[in-house]
Structure 1
Amino acid sequence: MSALPPLSKTLRFREPSVIPGFGLTFGLTVTWLSVIVLIPLAAMILYASRLGFDQFIAILTAQRTLNALKLSFGIAFAAAIFNVIFGLIVAWALTRYEFPGRRIADAIVDIPFALPTAVAGIALATLYSPQGWIGQFLAPLGIQVTFTPLGILVALIFVGIPFVVRTVQPVLKDLDPELELAAASLGASRWQVIRKVIAPTLLPAILTGFALAFARAVGEYGSVIFIAGNLPNISEIAPLLIVIRLEEFRYADATAIAVIMLFVAFIMLLIINRLQRWTEARS
């Protein structure tokens, strides 16, 4: 039986590096990742494992829990789709066109990053209330945004669109417009240029932006509770239900809901990651 290779030969940089200390940096990375991410998640899963299978299923299949989970994941998915479409348009305009106020518009995109979520929720609720600047024009049309699932969608779009714009924008800057001109000069139509030149390059970045926007939307809390109304079985999101269960000292219920949210989000992000790798391999 052949001996195993030394550990120092199996753990090394992918590319040669003049910076020493791989063992130290690798150990710090694993320790930091464990303390910040792995240990808290493991503790939550361990606590949930103490529940009996029947109790766990009973908590998850409760009508209020199912409605909250459907609302959270469904609207988060819809908001991420919306952000991909309009975030791509915004990134394209900021990258390919010169217009007055372009730098200001580019800075405005980052406001949801810096704005506290509670402030964003209060601002959106004020704007879209029936007496608000925007809501007063929607009310005569019979459209109510505040205290409805539509308000949740508006809030999730607001907090998620910068992730798509800032992910796609650098790729667009690196995409040489001369490639598009060359394709057009060879007889390609606009649709063929988009489908065969632009889309293959942007697709990995678009999927990454979608994943980031979706992940942010699933866990969003502060901006939603001020505009959603938080009505059980109507406009109550899963993160809010977790907080309510904790306030009721129903820790088992809160942990079970958190675990299923973690599992579903992980599966969806894994699928998106695989799609991203597949598109990168094809391109």
Structure 2
Amino acid sequence: MSMVSTYCPHFSGLRRSSPNLHNAPSQSFLQHFSSQLRLPSSPKPCRAVIAMSGSGKFFVGGNWKCNGTKDSITKLVSDLNSAKLESDVDVVVAPPFVYLDQVTSSLTDRIEVSAQNSWIGKGGAFTGEISVEQLKDIGCKWVILGHSERRHVIGEDDQFIGKKAAYALNEGLGVIACIGELLEEREAGKTFDVCFQQLKAFADAVPSWDNIVIAYEPVWAIGTGKVATPQQAQEVHVAVRDWLKKNVSEEVASKTRIIYGGSVNGSNCGELAKEEDIDGFLVGGASLKGPEFATIVNSVTTKKVAA
């Protein structure tokens, strides 16, 4: 089931005129979404379908960042291997580089493996870097690029990230492309400007959007315990999809999955997942806990409606 979305850039604190980061969307906005629903006129057997604006499959990634030891990762992999995960979700985990081989060789095929970063081109005399070719050699299917910690701690700029994404895609890796604004940028009403600028750097460089998942991660919500309200996240996701429609194509806007990251956990994932344009999650700390990560994966059930 696919529903049409529009966005209004004046609420949820995305413009200076909004007094509160936690404002609810306007009544007309809610009425718009309600108007897209079509209910059957007569009773009939029901089946579960996923209600999302995009046409892609729900996607949940776990970014383990610079955490773990051989023992703790062995335990985490064991928990993931035994977890009962909903079938209609793409699940990916991103271990630290030094444990990639351990994870790819011991993790169930149900879950794919991602790297947390990759080099801009083919390997060679680049001390400390990891090439896409090396990642593929050990079984990685994805790479996370543009994460805020790479942007704001390491100092990678938009164009550099876009070039890395282009090389990874050309060599056959899927890319989880991260975008998101700082707190001061949100408070200054620049959320859309920042996200669109970051999106443009990807769009200017990548050969295709076929293997890209966009992760919206407001920097002020990453690892802070602060979470964007479902309405705030939905609002940005709608805007991102609209930007893709206007600047890339309607087809790309429909099929590209836009996932949310920023202190997602087992308690808040259900409410976030209900939003029409939230197509999944990129999870940080909670992905280090197998049972909780499974709960987040299975939050896809809150998107299911009778049809």
Q: Give the structure-2-normalised TM-score.
A: 0.27
Structure number with the higher strand fraction is 2
Higher RCO by CA contacts (8 Å cutoff, separation 6 or greater): 1
Structure of larger gyration radius:
1
What is the TM-score with the length of structure 1 in the denominator?
0.29
Higher helix share: 1
